[in-house]
């Protein structure tokens, strides 16, 4: 630990950090040059960069480069799509999802990935906020994609399908690739000046920040490259100098790409970091638990990056006993806390695997800590160890700065930090201050540089790793004609981690009606639940409602969420409150 300007600062071990080029784009870094930390990774690997999970089809390095080149050429020729133009990608994972990302980057464009479970209105909001001018759509998401494109003003001829749909005449990615490869190069690839990689935007990924509707986080090319270098330097503290066959992250290993590429964890760790480490990625379109078990065996997958709900299934699903998972050698959990109990349970399910957690945010371009690779099972309850190049400060509740072992808000910095929120100066000023990101998470760092997350100061609800801002749901609910006031808090759930629960004050006439008739109370509750489910994606659906006379607030009008969290806890313990599972249990194996 060091004091910087009299503020105690905790640094990740393993420095100084290797060179991070700041004058290249992401595809230029991965395909056009050689970084010392990559070693022979890209040469020793399996010939396949990707494997399509459903079919076993392999996509080689040469095919990746050709498809990226062809798509870039066609984007420019057809639409003059280029520098700082934005492409929205709507759908689950696909072997061409990385092709779209890198093809857009080749011509200087920006990618924003959208959750395929979004409603049309939610997708319209993302398209318009990001100012996207083309939309790539998976066939499974076509109907909502077309509706949103029309509402958002994207022309029909700028909607591109991942695969051909019978009876539909929209152009496909393969059509564009072939068209681009058949013509001479027409686009001029950006050549960045020194330092420009730190400001040249690569991704606009959405995060709820601390409150409010999702915000477009501005992530430059340098941030993604830096985080890959940081993670690789961290794993080399264990692997460097060992023969390839003895490395934990061995060139030629296979990783299961089940995390969605529209989520920052999936696009940075699962896609780019695994690629940089020389691993072949099995790209899984949609998560289905039993299919995942089959794929681990079919492709001899040694590396799993998962979220806690998937690990719950690994620990509790009866199908697990039918599969030999002894080939798995590393499981990394992220996006939400993994309890010590689940950590120990999954260690028994995967007897030969390292087990650990990482921590990061969209605003930090993912990883800030990484599993302890010198331990088979990471310290229970910890979110891993700080990686090289990171710096952490602890802001205590009284506004003073703490040190090792002291608890407070985590304030972090490093080379992978995002720039801020697009077109939102106020939110940017609240979260990004002088190169530091105020995470809204409360925790501490011990003398081993292990990170522990204790609580969230910010009001986000984490449902299966996805962010739900209470303010977004509250704003929507206040438009319901029966509701006078509302406060949404997190309800604990073994499977999802947390679920949204609403405390609602009804308008006086409705309250009187409900007080006289229990059936009317249930009817109003169902009406409100449906009002949310009709307009919001499934992970934002309410797990329950309790009617209260007055929503508690302080004298300045701020919601007193802690009081209602305590009330919810008491209600769950006594049985007065019972949660419903949004979406029904049959969907649990399909996140």
Q: Is residue 544 included in any domain, yes or no? A: yes
What's the mean pLDDT in 219-242? 94
Instruction: List the CATH number of the domain containing 514.
Output: 3.30.300.30
Indicate the range of 74-78, 101-105, 269-273, 492-496 predicted with least confidence. Answer: 492-496
Residue 586 has pLDDT above 50, yes or no: no
Task: Say whether pLDDT at 400 is over 90.
Answer: yes
Q: Does 196 have pLDDT greater than 70?
A: yes
Q: Is residue 159 part of a domain?
A: yes
The last residue of one of the domains, among 184, 199, 217, is 217
Check pLDDT > 90 for residue 206. yes
- What pLDDT was estimated at residue 376? 94
What is the number of structural domains in the chain?
Answer: 2
Q: Give the Cα separation of 443 and 453 in Å (integer).
A: 4
Q: Is residue 150 part of a domain?
A: yes
Predicted confidence band of residue 571 (pLDDT cuts 50, 70, 90): very high
pLDDT band at 341 (very low <50, low <70, confident <90, very high): confident
Q: Looking at 217, 252, 281, which one is the last position of a domain?
A: 217
Question: What are the b/e assignments for 311-326, b being 16+ CB within 10 Å?
Answer: bbbbbebeebeeeebe
- Give the pTM: 0.84
Question: Which residue, among 414, 407, 351, has the nearest Cα to 377 in the 3D structure?
Answer: 351
pLDDT at site 587: 45
The answer on pLDDT for 39 being more than 80 is no
Q: Which residues contact 134 (CB under 8 A, 6 or more apart)?
A: 75, 79, 81, 85, 87, 88, 154, 158, 159, 160
pLDDT band at 202 (very low <50, low <70, confident <90, very high): very high
330 contacts 357 by C-beta, under 8 angstroms = no
Mean pLDDT of all residues belonging to the chain: 91
User: Residue 161 is part of a domain; what is its CATH number?
Assistant: 3.40.50.980
161 within some domain: yes
Residue 16 counted as domain residue: no
Using the structure block, give the residue that is written with the tokens 């399509």. Answer: 52
Confidence of residue 554 (pLDDT cuts 50, 70, 90): low
- Residue 146 has phi, psi (to 5 degrees) of -65, -40
Q: What is the mean pLDDT of residues 228-236?
A: 96
Q: At residue 4, does pLDDT exceed 80?
A: no
Domain membership of residue 342 (yes or no) is no
Extended beta strands in 173-270, E state: 201-207, 215-220, 254-257
45-59, 213-227, 391-405: which has the minimum mean pLDDT?
45-59
Domain that holds residue 563: 461-587
- Point out the least confidently predicted range of 103-107, 179-183, 308-312, 535-539: 308-312
Mean pLDDT confidence for 169-184:
97
Q: What is the C-alpha to C-alpha distance for residues 188 and 125, in angstroms, rounded to an integer?
A: 31
243-258 pLDDT per residue, tens: 888 889 998 899 999 9
- Reported as a single tens digit per residue, the pLDDT across 125-140 is 999 999 999 999 999 9
Give the pLDDT confidence of 8-30 residue by residue, as tens digits: 999 999 989 999 999 999 999 99
Q: 115 in a domain, yes or no?
A: yes
* Residue 451: inside a domain: no
Please report the DSSP string for 88-119 in residue order: EEESS--TTHHHHHHHHHHTT-EEEEE-TT--
Q: Which of 198, 217, 236 is the last residue of a domain?
A: 217
């Amino acid at each position: 630990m060091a004091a910087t300007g009299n503020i105690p600062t905790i640094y990740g071990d393993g420095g100084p950090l290797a060179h991070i080029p700041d004058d290249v784009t992401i595809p230029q870094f991965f395909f056009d040059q050689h970084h010392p930390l990559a070693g022979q990774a890209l040469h020793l690997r399996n010939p396949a960069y990707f494997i399509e999970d459903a079919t076993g089809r392999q996509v080689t390095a040469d095919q990746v480069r050709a498809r990226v080149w062809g798509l870039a050429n066609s984007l420019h020729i057809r639409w003059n799509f280029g520098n700082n133009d934005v492409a929205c990608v709507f759908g689950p994972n696909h072997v061409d999802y990385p092709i779209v990302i890198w093809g857009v980057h080749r011509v200087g464009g920006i990618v924003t990935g959208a959750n395929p479970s979004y409603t049309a209105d939610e997708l319209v909001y993302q398209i318009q906020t990001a100012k996207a001018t083309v939309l790539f759509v998976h066939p499974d998401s076509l109907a909502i994609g077309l509706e949103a494109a029309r509402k958002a003003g994207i022309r029909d001829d700028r909607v591109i399908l991942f695969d051909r749909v019978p009876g539909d005449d929209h152009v496909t990615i393969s059509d564009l690739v072939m068209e681009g490869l058949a013509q001479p190069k027409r686009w001029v690839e950006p050549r960045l000046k020194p330092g420009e990689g730190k400001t040249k935007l690569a991704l606009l990924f959405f995060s709820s920040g601390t409150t409010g509707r999702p915000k477009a986080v501005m992530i430059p090319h340098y941030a993604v490259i830096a985080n890959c270098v940081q993670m690789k330097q961290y794993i080399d503290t264990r692997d460097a100098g060992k023969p390839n066959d003895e490395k934990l992250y061995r060139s030629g290993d296979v990783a299961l790409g089940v995390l969605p590429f529209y989520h920052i964890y999936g696009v940075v760790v699962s896609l780019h970091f695994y690629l940089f480490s020389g691993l072949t990625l099995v790209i899984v379109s949609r998560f289905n638990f039993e299919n995942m078990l089959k794929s681990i065996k079919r492709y001899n997958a040694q590396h799993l990056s998962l979220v806690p709900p998937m690990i719950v299934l690994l620990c509790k699903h009866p199908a697990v006993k039918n599969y030999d998972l002894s080939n798995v050698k590393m499981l990394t959990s992220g996006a939400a806390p993994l309890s010590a109990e689940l950590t120990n349970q999954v260690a028994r399910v995967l007897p030969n695997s390292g087990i650990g957690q990482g921590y990061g945010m969209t605003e930090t371009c993912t990883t800030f800590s990484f599993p302890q690779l010198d331990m088979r099972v990471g310290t229970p309850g910890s979110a891993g160890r700080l990686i090289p190049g990171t710096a952490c400060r602890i802001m205590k509740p009284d506004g003073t700065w703490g040190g090792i072992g002291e608890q407070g808000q985590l304030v972090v910095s490093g080379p992978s930090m995002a720039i801020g929120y697009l077109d939102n100066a106020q939110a940017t000023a609240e979260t990004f201050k002088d190169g530091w990101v105020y995470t809204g998470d409360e925790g501490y760092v011990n003398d081993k540089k292990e990170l522990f997350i204790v609580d969230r100061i910010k009001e986000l609800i984490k449902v299966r790793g996805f962010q739900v801002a209470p303010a977004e749901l509250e704003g929507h609910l206040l438009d319901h004609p029966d509701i006078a006031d509302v406060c949404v808090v997190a309800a604990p759930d073994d499977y999802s981690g947390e679920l949204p629960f609403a405390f609602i004050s009804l308008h006086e006439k409705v309250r009187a009606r409900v007080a006289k008739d229990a059936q009317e109370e249930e009817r109003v509750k169902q009406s409100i639940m449906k009002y949310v489910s009709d307009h919001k994606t499934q992970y934002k659906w309410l797990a329950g409602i309790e009617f209260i006379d007055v929503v508690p607030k302080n004298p300045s009008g701020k919601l007193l969420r802690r009081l209602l969290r305590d009330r919810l806890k008491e209600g769950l313990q006594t049985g007065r409150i019972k949660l419903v599972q949004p979406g029904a249990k049959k969907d649990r194996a399909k996140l």
